[in-house]
Amino acid sequence: MFAKTSLSGFPEWLPEGRIIENAILDHLRKTFELHGFASLETRSVETLDELQRKGETSKEVYILNRLQELKEERSSKKERPLGLHFDLTVPFARFVIENAGSLAFPFRRYQIQKVWRGERPQDGRFREFMQADIDIVGDGALAFHHEVELPLVMIEALSGLPIPPVTVLVNNRKVVQGFCEGIGIESVEDALRAIDKLDKIGAEGVMAEMLENGISAEQGEKLLEMAAIRVESGVTDAVLALGVDNETLRAGLEELDALLIAATKRAPGRVVADLKIARGLDYYTGSVYETVLEGHEDLGSICSGGRYDSLATNGKRTYPGVGLSIGVSRLVSRILGQELVHASRSVPSCVLVAVNDEEHRSEADDIAYALRSRGIPTEVSPNSAKFGKQIKFADKRGIPFVWFTNEEGVSTVKDIRTGEQVEADAATWMPPATDLLPTVVK
């Protein structure tokens, strides 16, 4: 279901793979809209100033240039440098600021688009890929309960896909901020940047990096103890048992506990507090989330995000938000690569109308038109070869039914999977509901 491509990092799926991807996207749209999220699409390019507004220089932004401008080498007024967006959060923040007067807050949006990053391609990581985001943004303030709501919406969305169960790992910026302050660490970002690598380089590697950044061995050991906490409940007791306590830490633990309590009610066993999660803390200010696929932990997080308070601001007003993003291409690549599911057929066509001879092709076209007018995906045989060859053509494409009309004008439809053939009228015949459209099968 993968198509061969001469450029690495730019995935192309074969038709069956696209059917699976579209089924996933359709399900995500349906779930997001069920929860009141409005569809939004932003432009693919942003100014470099906007893309680098929060210091996101590590995303390897693709620069956009006009060929003619590169050739001219002129000294006249230059256009503002542009780049392809590397995620959907930064352009969404810009959109909110520019259109705040036309939006009703809290504003709930979902966005499904491609993004681009000049990264080294590897398993599940691409240079061009599809993301599906949901965000809730407020005007000046945003209630904490939205931080509880979003991961539960994502669990519902992902649970409806033909994939193994998912677990959402949660942490809170206030917890790690307060803990670091409580043990005297001044450079919180350095500490958390090291902790975030725990799964990659292990405790020894993390400790070495912290020592290089001026964090003492005693502080590092304490931080590693905190990072080792992974519980479905009782996170406050687990953290306070380490002997660290302050107001910021307490505030974060209260929020984290509230999230876990709600998740236990709505999605038992699906949300776990994992205090080594430290992603994106350059702009996340509250809850942070990562999502792993059971049995496929090597793939990394397939859905991540968090609370941000100052990403969207125009200097006068601030629009705090919370969001989550699914790496759709990463998920699809694993589904196709390990054949976790397959499509019932590789084309949308449910019926192939056989052609007796080229002189009567228009009659076959009439039947196809009648079937399509009733919502039945239909194509007409590309040639008038012997019926056996036309049936083989349908079988190769996965089309389940072939329609025949004899010289007397009597029509029959054949299920080429079973060999059953019955008389049929194009004005009334319907295929079984399970055959009307391609389906995704585990």
Quickly list DSSP for 77-132.
PPPPPEEE-SSSHHHHHHHHHHHGGG-PSSEEEEEEEEEE--PPPBTTB-SEEEEE
Q: Could you tell me if 312 and 97 are in contact, meaning their C-beta atoms sit under 8 angstroms apart?
A: yes
196 is in an annotated binding site: no
279 is in an annotated binding site: yes
* CA–CA gap between residue 233 and residue 271 (Å, rounded): 10
H-helix segments, 124-229: 145-159, 173-182, 188-195, 198-212, 217-227
88 is in an annotated binding site: yes
- Would you tell me how many other CB atoms lie within 10 Å of the CB of residue 181? 16
The SS3 assignment for 230 reads: strand
Element (H, E) at 29: helix 15-34
131 is in an annotated binding site: yes
283 is in an annotated binding site: yes
* CA–CA gap between residue 382 and residue 396 (Å, rounded): 14
* CA–CA gap between residue 19 and residue 26 (Å, rounded): 10
Question: Tokens 């809209």 identify what position?
Answer: 33
Question: Tokens 């001044």 identify what position?
Answer: 186
284 is in an annotated binding site: yes
Closest CA to 363 of 378, 352, 353: 353
* Cα separations in angstroms, 146 against 108, 264, 323, 405: 10, 16, 9, 60
397 is in an annotated binding site: no
* CA–CA gap between residue 1 and residue 12 (Å, rounded): 9
Element (H, E) at 392: helix 387-397
* CA–CA gap between residue 365 and residue 380 (Å, rounded): 7
Q: Could you tell me if 25 and 161 are in contact, meaning their C-beta atoms sit under 8 angstroms apart?
A: no
Q: What's the maximum distance between 2 C-alpha atoms anywhere in the chain?
A: 92
Element (H, E) at 369: helix 361-373
Residue 400 class from Cβ within 10 Å (0-12 exposed, 13-18 middle, 19+ buried)? buried
* Cα separations in angstroms, 366 against 380, 382, 400: 10, 15, 20
135 is in an annotated binding site: yes
Annotated binding site for L-histidine: 87-89, 117, 131, 135, 279, 283-284
Binding residues: 87-89, 117, 131, 135, 279, 283-284
